[in-house]
């Protein structure tokens, strides 16, 4: 997933050099234009989705930047405006339920109606996901179980993100080469899903946490003592 990190670096550079100086009006205009670009891409994309951004040509670079701009700066705008949805109880579970529902919706429209699926994806990106983010930021996580699950998912999220690609591509290649049906592929889907978490957890415990602990002890603790 190095291609997505590439866009995240660009987003952070844009923020550090320019966007952090924007007032709320200028930032709102930027977010509005990014939303328009997102809607346009979703409605005009050949397959009615916002997939892409991983090649160094104009078409894919455009997709990548559109995918970056609205989520990145809309989140910043929400923070600047302080638009938080206060959920006193079970914020984590409500947010999780909304994500499951949104992602469980099958593709909308057939070959003659790709724009319908594009419209759905645009509505999710522009409206529904910001609501979920606002609920998550404004809610409180209470109870040992909820806190434990949140911590586990937070710890493992980046390892899953950075290591899942080989498993996904292996499964996809097998499914395509064998013209696998849903029934035939289901056991391997489950195996891929579980395997991704097992691999990520192993990387977290055997590499990520030990290395970060060593770096902290090696560089940060010494710097604090000097201060």
Q: What is the pLDDT of residue 224?
A: 56
Whether 124 and 149 map to the same domain: the answer is no
Confidence of residue 2 (pLDDT cuts 50, 70, 90): confident
Structure tokens, 78: 């929400």
Q: Quick one: 159 exposed, middle or buried, by C-beta within 10 A (0-12, 13-18, 19+)?
A: buried
Q: What is the pLDDT of residue 112?
A: 82
What pLDDT digit, counting tens, does each position of 179-215 carry?
999 899 999 999 999 999 999 999 999 999 999 999 9
Whether 79 and 186 map to the same domain: the answer is no
Whether 118 and 187 map to the same domain: the answer is no
Q: Choose among 77, 68, 69: nearest CA to 5.
A: 68
| % of the chain at pLDDT higher than 70 | 97
| Better-predicted residue by pLDDT, 82 or 220 | 82
| % of the chain at pLDDT higher than 90 | 78
> For residue 223, is pLDDT > 60?
no
**Matching residue, tokens 């998912």:** 153
CB 160 within 8 A of CB 194: no
Q: What is the pLDDT of residue 225?
A: 54
Whether 44 and 150 map to the same domain: the answer is no
H helix or E strand, kind and range, residue 62: helix 58-81
Ranges 37-41, 52-56, 126-130: which has the least confidence: 52-56
Whether 1 and 99 map to the same domain: the answer is yes
Give Cα 188 to chain centroid, integer Å. Answer: 24
Whether 81 and 128 map to the same domain: the answer is yes
Distance CA(29)–CA(117), nearest Å, equals 26
Whether 62 and 105 map to the same domain: the answer is yes
Q: Quick one: 34 exposed, middle or buried, by C-beta within 10 A (0-12, 13-18, 19+)?
A: buried
Whether 111 and 189 map to the same domain: the answer is no
Distance CA(10)–CA(4), nearest Å, equals 10
Q: What is the pLDDT of residue 175?
A: 94
> For residue 133, is pLDDT > 90?
yes
Distance CA(134)–CA(128), nearest Å, equals 10
Confidence of residue 99 (pLDDT cuts 50, 70, 90): very high
Domain end marker among 141, 167, 182: 141
Domain end marker among 141, 170, 197: 141
Whether 113 and 191 map to the same domain: the answer is no
Q: pTM for this one? A: 0.83
SS3 content of the chain, % helix, strand, coil (to 5): 80, 0, 20
CB 48 within 8 A of CB 32: no
Distance CA(66)–CA(78), nearest Å, equals 19
* Terminal Cα distance for the chain, rounded: 38
Whether 65 and 31 map to the same domain: the answer is yes
Q: What is the chain's mean pLDDT, rounded?
A: 92
Q: What is the pLDDT of residue 183?
A: 92
Read off the pLDDT of each residue in 45-73 and give the average, rounded to a whole number.
Answer: 92
Whether 16 and 83 map to the same domain: the answer is yes
Residues 6+ apart with CB under 8 A from 170: 192
> For residue 50, is pLDDT > 80?
yes
**Domain range for 165:** 143-227
The structural domain count of the chain equals 2
Domain end marker among 141, 157, 177: 141
Whether 2 and 87 map to the same domain: the answer is yes
Distance CA(135)–CA(87), nearest Å, equals 6
Q: What is the pLDDT of residue 80?
A: 95
Q: What is the pLDDT of residue 1?
A: 66
């Amino acid at each position: 997933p190095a291609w997505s990190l590439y866009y995240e670096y660009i987003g952070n550079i844009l923020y550090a050099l320019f966007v952090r100086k924007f007032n709320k009006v200028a930032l709102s205009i930027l977010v509005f234009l990014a939303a328009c670009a997102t809607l346009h891409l979703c409605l005009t994309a050949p397959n009615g989705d916002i997939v892409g951004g991983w090649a160094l040509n104009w078409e894919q670079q455009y997709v990548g930047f559109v995918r970056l701009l609205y989520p990145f700066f809309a989140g910043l705008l929400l923070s600047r405006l302080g638009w938080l949805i206060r959920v006193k109880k079970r914020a984590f579970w409500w947010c999780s339920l909304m994500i499951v529902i949104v992602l469980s919706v099958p593709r909308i429209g057939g070959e003659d109606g790709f724009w319908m699926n594009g419209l759905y994806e645009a509505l999710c990106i522009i409206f529904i996901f910001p609501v979920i983010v606002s609920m998550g930021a404004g809610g409180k996580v209470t109870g040992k179980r909820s806190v434990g699950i949140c911590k586990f998912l937070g710890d493992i999220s980046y390892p899953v993100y950075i290591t899942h690609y080989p498993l996904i591509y292996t499964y996809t290649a097998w499914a395509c080469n064998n013209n696998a049906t849903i029934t035939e592929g289901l056991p391997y889907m489950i195996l891929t899903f579980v395997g991704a978490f097992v691999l990520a957890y192993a990387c977290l415990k055997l590499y990520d946490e030990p290395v970060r602990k060593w770096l902290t002890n090696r560089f940060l603790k010494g710097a604090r003592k000097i201060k």
